Amino acid sequence: MKKQSQFLWKVLPPEEQVDTEEVKESVEEVYVYKPPIPKPWVSLGSEKEIEEESVHESTVRAKYKISRERRQFGAPIKFGDYNASSVKDSYIECTAYADKNFTVKQLEKDIAIQVIPILMDTYTQTQWKFPRNATTQYMPREFSKEERETLLQSKDLKDFLNSVSLSVEAALQQNEIMNVFIDDWKVLAEEEATFGDKTDSHLKEYQSFTDLHNIKDKTITCICWHPTIYGLIAVSIAERLSYEERVQFSGKLLLQPSLILFWSFSDPIHPQLMLQSPDDIFCFRFCPSNPNIIAGGCINGQVVLWDISAHSERIVHVKGSGSTSKKAVLKPIFLLEPDSNKDAPYVRHCAVSSIEYGHKKLVTDIHWLTDNFEVNRMGYAFENRSGICCQLVTCSIDCTIYFWDIRPTRPPPIPTDKKKEETVEVPHDVPSTFLHLDLSWRPHIRITLAKSGTTLDHCPVKLSLRNESLNYQVQDAQILQQKAQIAGEDPYHNLESGLAKILKPIEDYNTKFFVGTEDGEVIYTDWRMERDHDSGRLISQKPLNRYAVHDGSINTVQRSPFYQDIVLTIGGWNVAIWKEGVSQGPLLLSACSTKMYTSGHWSLTRPAVFFVGKEDGYIDIWDLLEKTHEPAHTQNICITSITYIRPWMFSTRQQFLAIADYFGTLHILEIPWTLSHPLVNEVQSVYHYFDREVSHLKYTEKRKEIRAKQKTELHLESEKNKSKAVQKSKEQLEAELRMNYEEYLDFEKQTLGNLGVIPETDRLSSSFRDLI
C-alpha cells in the first residue's frame, strides 16, 4: 500500500500541482496579530522642558468672601440728574485704567521665525547695436525757375495765403502780447514763496574754525575765500591791543609771528598754510587773474606780496584728520594736542614795499584793479598791456591813497662779474616772483583828499572802485586757466616786456570812486591827477561831493553786485545807500541802532538783501522788498563783537556766510533758501525802488528851492512895508496920532456913560457938540 500511494503522488497532473502552490501562497498571506510588549521608559530630558514651560503659582491665592444683608437684594435704584454744562466740553468719559497692583511683566518670550527667500521671475529683451562708420551726403531738392514762376502765379497758392493770413496775423499778435512758452506753475510757486513762511530765514551753523596755538589773544581782521578751491578760506589775525599797548609791548610783538591762516572744510583743526608778514595784516586780497598771488596791507603801512604757487597742490588735495566716512567726534580742548604730521608750512613773503615811500600808518583797505585796464601816472585809464592784474590801490589813515604797479619801471640791468659776487643769495623757500620789488617798491600815484577851507586832509579808511569784483565762483577756474595759458608759464618774470607796447587809451572811462573816512564822511572824488598852474607838479583833484551822514568811522563802502551805480556804506550807528550821479544825498538812511555797526556786505544773489554785523554779536539781515525802515531779521551769532563778514557762493543751491568775531573764531553759516534765491523780477523791482527814491530826492530838492524862494519874497515884502512906513511925513504922523487919540476919548466917554459916572445931559451935550 505504501508503494502504491507514492506512485499515485507522482502521477498527479500538473494542474493539480499549481493549485496546491496557490493554496500555500494564500495561507502564507494571512496576518497574525501580535500584541505589543511594553518596554521600560527611558528619560531624554523632555520632562524638564515641560516643567519649565508649565505655569506654577508663585503666591498663595487670596480668598475673599463678599456678603450683604438679605433685605438689600432687589432694592429700588434711584438715578439723579447731572448738569453737563459744569463739565468742560460737556463730555464725560469713564475710561478704563490699569491697576498697578496686578500688572504682569513679560520677561521672556520665544518666537519661532523661518526665513523663506522671495523668488521672482523676470525677463527682458535687449537689442545689441554695434557702432558703424557711415556717411551721408545729401543735396537740397529745389524747384526750377519755370516751376517757381508757375507756382507763384497759381490760383491755389493765392487762395491759400488769403485763407490763412488772418489766423497767422492773430497768432503773431498773440506772440507779441504774451510769452506762450512760460511755465505758469513755476511762476505761481515763486509768487507763493514771497508770501510763504519766513521760518527758513535763519542762518544755520555749518562749521567753525579756531586755532588753539596761533590765535591766542588775537582777533580776525580780514576774511577772503579762495576764488577757485571749494571750502578754502583765508583769515588774517592781529593782536588785540590799542595803540598805547602796542607801543608798550613793541619788543614782545617782534618775537611773535604775524600770520594769514588758510582753513579748509576738510580739516577744521589744523590750518593748511600760514603766510608770514613783517607785521600784523589788517587787509588782504587774492589776485583776480591768479589766485596764487596775494597782496596785503600791514599795520605799519607796508604792502606785502606772497606767491603760493609752490603749495597749490597741498591746498587743492586737502585730506582731513580722519576718514570721511566716519562721523566727527568732538573732543575737549586739552585732548587736542598738536600733531607733528599736521604742521602747516610757513610761507614767507616775496616782496614788501619801501618804508620810506610807502604809507606811514595802518593800511585800512586794498583792492586789485581788474585786468581790462591800467592807470598811468596821470591817472588816465589805458588798455592793460600785460593781460593780467598788475596794479592795486590802497588807502591808509595817514590821509593818502596810493596806486601800486607790480611791474618794473625799467628793464633790469645785466649784472657784471663784480656785481654778481656782491649779490645776496635769496633763500630757497622764498619765491623769486617779485624779487625786483622787495624793499624798493614805491607807488606811482599819490592821492590826498584835502578839506575845504583848511590845510588838513580827510582820513580815508575804505574805498570802492567802479569795476570791483565781489563774487568768486568755482566755475571761474576754467577762465583763470585760459588766462594763464595766454599769459605763459611764468608771466610775472616777463612783465617788463609789456613796457614796449604802445598804450591805447580807453575813452569815457569812469575814474570816479567813493571813499569812506574816519570821521564818518562819504566822499565822491576822481583819481585823475591835474597839474598845478604855479609849480607844474601833479596834484590831486578836490573832492566832487562830500556828505556827513554817519556818526562814526566808516567800516564798509561797497558797490552792489547787480547795480554798478549803487553803493552801500556802513559806519557808526546807521546804514546808507547811495547812487552814483545823484548829488542830493543818500537814497536810504536808516535810523540809529542801539548798538554800533562793525561790518557789512551785500548778498551775492539777491539785490534787495545785505548783511550788517554789530558790536554785540548780532547780525541784521535787511530785505528792501520786505522792510526799508528796519532790518527784516536779526540773529545772534556770537557773544562778542563781529569784526568781518564775507559771503561766498559755491553753487545756486549752496551759499555760505563767513563771520569773524573779536575773539578770533571764524563762523561759517549756511544761507537759507529764502535769502539766497531771488524772487521773480527782483532785480527790476529793486531798480524801480531806487528810481522812486531818486525822484523823491529831486522832488524834495525842488520843494526846498520853492520854499527858499517864497521865504525871500516874504522877506522882501516886509522890507518894502517897513520902507513905506519910514517915508511918511511928520504932519501925516501927527494927524494919525490925533485921530487915534480922539477915538480913544470917545470910547472913554461912552464907557463912563454906560457905567453912570457921567450924567446923561453931559453926554448928550457932548454928542450934540460933536455933531455941530
Nearby residues of 367 by Cβ (< 8 Å), 6 or more positions away: 285, 392, 393, 394, 463, 465, 468
Contact between residue 598 and residue 615 where contact means Cβ atoms under 8 Å apart: yes
Query: Phi, psi at residue 485, to the nearest 5°?
Result: -65, -40
What integer pLDDT is reported at residue 284 of this predicted model? Answer: 94
Sort 266 into a burial class: Cβ within 10 Å, 0-12 / 13-18 / 19+: middle
Can you tell me whether residue 766 is helix, strand or coil? helix
What integer pLDDT is reported at residue 693 of this predicted model? Answer: 93
What integer pLDDT is reported at residue 491 of this predicted model? Answer: 61
Sort 461 into a burial class: Cβ within 10 Å, 0-12 / 13-18 / 19+: buried
How many residues are present in the chain? 772
What crossing angle do the helices spanning 730-755 and 760-771 adopt, rounded to 10°? 150
What integer pLDDT is reported at residue 102 of this predicted model? Answer: 65
Can you tell me whether residue 263 is helix, strand or coil? strand
What integer pLDDT is reported at residue 634 of this predicted model? Answer: 92
pLDDT band at 480 (very low <50, low <70, confident <90, very high): low
- pLDDT for residue 395 is more than 90: yes
Average pLDDT over residues 288-299: 91
Nearest to 198 by CA among 621, 594, 684: 621
More confident residue, 175 or 168: 168
d(CA 620, CA 675): 13
More confident residue, 702 or 331: 702
Helix (H) or strand (E) segment spanning residue 147 = helix 145-152
pLDDT tens-digit map of 437-452: 888 889 989 999 888 7
% of the chain residues with pLDDT over 90 = 31
d(CA 472, CA 288): 9
Sign of CA dihedral 100, 103, 107, 113: negative
% of the chain residues with pLDDT over 70 = 78
CATH 2.40.50.140 fits 204-312+344-409+427-472+501-679, yes or no: no
Contact between residue 557 and residue 516 where contact means Cβ atoms under 8 Å apart: yes
pLDDT tens-digit map of 128-155: 666 777 788 888 888 898 999 998 899 9
Name the residue with cell 507514492.
Answer: 6
Sign of CA dihedral 53, 54, 57, 58: negative
Sort 262 into a burial class: Cβ within 10 Å, 0-12 / 13-18 / 19+: buried
Round to the nearest angstrom and report the end-to-end CA distance of the chain: 222
pLDDT tens-digit map of 210-267: 887 777 788 999 999 998 888 899 999 998 888 778 777 777 777 788 899 999 988 8
d(CA 643, CA 616): 11
Nearby residues of 718 by Cβ (< 8 Å), 6 or more positions away: none
What grid cell was written down for 151?
507756382
Neighbours of 538 (CB within 10 A): 15
d(CA 201, CA 204): 9
Sort 546 into a burial class: Cβ within 10 Å, 0-12 / 13-18 / 19+: middle
What integer pLDDT is reported at residue 196 of this predicted model? Answer: 39
Helices then strands, each counted (H, E), the chain: 15, 33
What integer pLDDT is reported at residue 142 of this predicted model? Answer: 87
What integer pLDDT is reported at residue 481 of this predicted model? Answer: 56
- pLDDT for residue 554 is more than 90: yes
